[in-house]
Amino acid sequence: MTGHVHLHAPDAHSVSVLQFSNPGKLNALTVQMWRDLRTLMEAVNHSDPCAGPHVIVVQGDGGSFVAGADIEEFPDFRFDAQTLGHYHEEVVAPALNALLDCERPLVAQIEGACVGGGLEIAACCDIRICGESSRFGVPIAKLGFPMAPLEIEIVARVIGETTLRELLLEARVLGAEEARQRGLVTRIVADAQVGPEARRSAEHMARLSPQALRLNKRALRQFGRAHGSSRDEREPHYAYAPSPEHREGLAAFNEKRPARFGHALTPPTDEPSR
């Protein structure tokens, strides 16, 4: 097995890189890579919110993002309903949900093909930056199988049902500009600038209040649910009121100086169980 997923330690700017690598296969995802992704992201999600990275850049190795799943493995599980269901329900969906549960901002550095599982991973990121030649799609109808229900739910929340119907039922592949118009991409830059732009975005967010970013992601996650959020779920959001970061941000504004945010500041009350 050649594929692997690696989460690099935070750099001096408190930015980490989550990298997919499967040489010679455009970083196609093996079953083990999906499992490793879940393990790495769950470790981040259960770590001290005052420690670790402020922002994570999600990228593929070698100038490519992620070109779907590793088709060479498909005969091992795709032709039996039980093993196929286990793959999608117990391997892929939990990995994607671990990305969605991450309270650090995720910046997708999209170079080249972003299809299939790569599109699903990008849909779990907060900021999606791509190159002019990037392509987006889920042309799996050409391979004789559909997208799994839980994966449809995740992608549809980002690009909308109409666009997803087009991608799935016509097996269309979108260019960068059309992907941006459909809301799948945050911004497009020249191919050679994708990495630098993703880095600039990450470093910019890393200078902001980690607490504010974390609470924004919680609220956005609640807003994205079909039933909305309840008052009980929203109440803990306001626990940041007396926090050091809140006081520092407003004090810095009034004193006309840059805010000094840091990992050592006290986090708000934990989010209630969902």
Question: How much is the pLDDT for 169?
Answer: 96
What's the whole-number mean pLDDT along residues 156-185? 94
| Alpha helices, DSSP H, located in the chain | 31-45, 81-86, 93-100, 117-123, 149-159, 161-169, 176-181, 194-206, 210-223, 231-234, 244-254
More confident residue, 164 or 263: 164
State residue 221's pLDDT score: 83
The pLDDT of residue 239 is 73
Q: Give the whole-angstrom CA distance, residue 133 versus residue 188.
A: 9
The mean of the pLDDT values for the chain is 89
Per-residue pLDDT averaged across 139-149, rounded? 90
The more confidently predicted of residues 193 and 235 is 193
Residue 268 has pLDDT above 60, yes or no: no
- Find the mean pLDDT for residues 52-81: 92
Confidence of residue 253 (pLDDT cuts 50, 70, 90): confident
All domains in the chain, ordered by first residue: 4-206 (3.90.226.10), 209-274 (1.10.12)
User: So what's the pLDDT on residue 225?
Assistant: 59
Confidence band of 232 (pLDDT split at 50, 70, 90): confident
